[in-house]
Amino acid sequence: MTITDVVGGRRVEVVRGVADLDREAWNALVRAAGGSVFHSWEWLAAFEEAPPGVFEPAHQLAYDGDRLVGVCPAYLVHHCPRLERIAETAGIDFGGPVLLAHSLAAFAGGPLALPEHPDARDALISGLADTAAALDAWAWGAVNLPAGRLVGRLIGAGYATARLNTTYLLDTRHATVEDYWSTFRSKHRRELQRERRVLTRSGVRITESAPDADTHVRLVHGVVADHGASLDVLPEDFLRALHRHLAPHDRSLTAVDLSGDAIAVFAAYDFGSERSLWLAGLDVDRLDSFGPYRPMVAAAVESAITAGVPLVNLGRGNPAPKRRVGAVAAPLYLALATADRARTALLHAALRRLERDGADHDDVGDGCC
């Protein structure tokens, strides 16, 4: 089913799955609009093949005439462990499905538009409300919106908002790796060199390669289970689908021992101008702490500089080692709205509680932990 409407002079279409999307056109717009792998066709394809919950796709596309000028991945959420945990923390019971743009599993959500068509973002947001009405959603909104003008406009439009997470961004526009490290105090450089020597003496080396799917799932689930978190947030089928669909963009780092066995992994993807370190995994049966963590972060940064990638998203959680390599905190917001005045009051109260009590308490494995 495709829903078509005219919003603010823009034609907005709602497409019910990636099978109905032109992969090349979608990805070209995401790149031109400054998006990352989390808005890519491949991410959506993996999500729809093996979703971590029960979701109905309702992707928004904005056109200027026949030209695609804006996109907004969106899902009607019937069941999502992350959303349900947020609702529990916020003390609210959603009375039905929620239309979200787009996924709590991603580092980024909300609309993207070509720089010369900024009004397309407004049309997509307005279209989201129309789609919510057509699909009988209890509420609608966006998750993991970066701080900025859009969040302010949503607040002004009456959306309930809360700072939900924090991701850590690193500018890697340096001529050389040496130029990057020259910006750090010599004490910090020596600390990293010492940690790298410890790894080398123990026979561990860091490779720019992805482990096979079985190993990837085992290492990621090892971290999740070791911290007592539910595997429902990162089910095996979802991890395998991402491993397969995102292979063309994969820039993962794997720590291996002397026998070549993988003991740690950072799942990383290049798309557009950003490298995103999405998940960390560890062989918890052999290691009781993430010893390779900082050297792996440094290796990812150095690799991005060498490859000419201008921005690295180091993900959520573990702020101290990320700040020590120069990353800057970037807040991410949840914004929700509903057409019912009583529900609106509930949302505002709930998201105030969420920001007070639940911000930044991500699930283990829900970022590069």
Query: Where residue 286 falls among pLDDT bands split at 50, 70, 90?
Result: confident
CA 182 to chain centre: 30
User: Residue 357: what pLDDT?
Assistant: 82
Structure-block tokens of residue 15: 């497409």
User: Residue 186: what pLDDT?
Assistant: 85
Q: Give me the chain's average pLDDT, please.
A: 90
Domain ranges of the chain: 2-166+331-357, 169-328
User: Residue 268: what pLDDT?
Assistant: 95
Q: Find, among 368, 288, 263, 271, the residue nearest to 325 by Cα.
A: 368
Say yes or no to pLDDT of 173 above 90: yes
Say yes or no to pLDDT of 367 above 90: no
| Cβ contact 348:334 at 8 Å | no
Helix (H, G, I), strand (E, B) or coil at 108: coil
User: Residue 366: what pLDDT?
Assistant: 45
User: Residue 362: what pLDDT?
Assistant: 47
For 186-202, the pLDDT digits (tens) are: 887 888 888 888 888 88
CA angle 7, 150, 132 (to 5 degrees): 45
Q: How many CA atoms are closer than 13 Å to the CA of 1, on its beta-carbon side?
A: 7
Out of 7-16, 48-57, 243-252, 324-333, pick the least confident: 7-16
Query: Is 3.40.630.30 the CATH number for 2-166+331-357?
Result: yes
User: Residue 368: what pLDDT?
Assistant: 47
For 302-338, the pLDDT digits (tens) are: 999 999 999 999 998 888 888 888 999 999 999 999 9
Say yes or no to pLDDT of 289 above 60: no
User: Residue 285: what pLDDT?
Assistant: 81
Q: How far apart are CA 286 and CA 90, in angstroms?
A: 37
Say yes or no to pLDDT of 8 above 70: no
User: Can you tell me the mean pLDDT for 152-166?
Assistant: 94
Q: Which residues contact 288 (CB under 8 A, 6 or more apart)?
A: none
Q: How far apart are CA 96 and CA 115, in angstroms?
A: 35
Query: Where residue 361 falls among pLDDT bands split at 50, 70, 90?
Result: very low
Looking at per-residue pLDDT, the higher value among 139 and 9 belongs to 139
Asked, colleague to colleague, whether 2-166+331-357 and 169-328 share their fold, the answer is yes
User: Residue 320: what pLDDT?
Assistant: 85
Structure-block tokens of residue 281: 């995994």
User: Residue 219: what pLDDT?
Assistant: 94
List own/partner pairs for 234-240 with CB under 8 A and 24 or more apart: 234/52, 234/105, 234/279, 234/365, 234/366, 235/50, 235/52, 237/49, 237/50, 238/46, 238/47, 238/50, 238/51, 238/52, 238/105, 239/213, 240/50, 240/213
| Cβ contact 280:266 at 8 Å | yes
Say yes or no to pLDDT of 30 above 60: yes
Say yes or no to pLDDT of 364 above 60: no
Say yes or no to pLDDT of 351 above 70: yes
Structure-block tokens of residue 299: 């290796």
User: Can you tell me the mean pLDDT for 261-271?
Assistant: 94
Q: Which residue in this structure is represented by tokens 């859009």?
A: 150
The alpha carbon dihedral of 158, 107, 275, 323 has a sign of positive
User: Can you tell me the mean pLDDT for 31-40?
Assistant: 97
Out of 6-10, 111-115, 239-243, 346-350, pick the least confident: 6-10
For 62-116, the pLDDT digits (tens) are: 999 999 999 999 999 999 999 999 999 999 999 999 999 988 999 999 999 999 9
Structure-block tokens of residue 125: 């947001």
Q: How many CA atoms are closer than 13 Å to the CA of 38, on its beta-carbon side?
A: 26
Q: Strand 311-316 vs strand 160-171: parallel, antiparallel, or unpaired?
A: antiparallel
Say yes or no to pLDDT of 358 above 80: no
Q: How far apart are CA 42 and CA 36, in angstroms?
A: 11
Query: Is 3.40.630.30 the CATH number for 169-328?
Result: yes
Say yes or no to pLDDT of 365 above 60: no
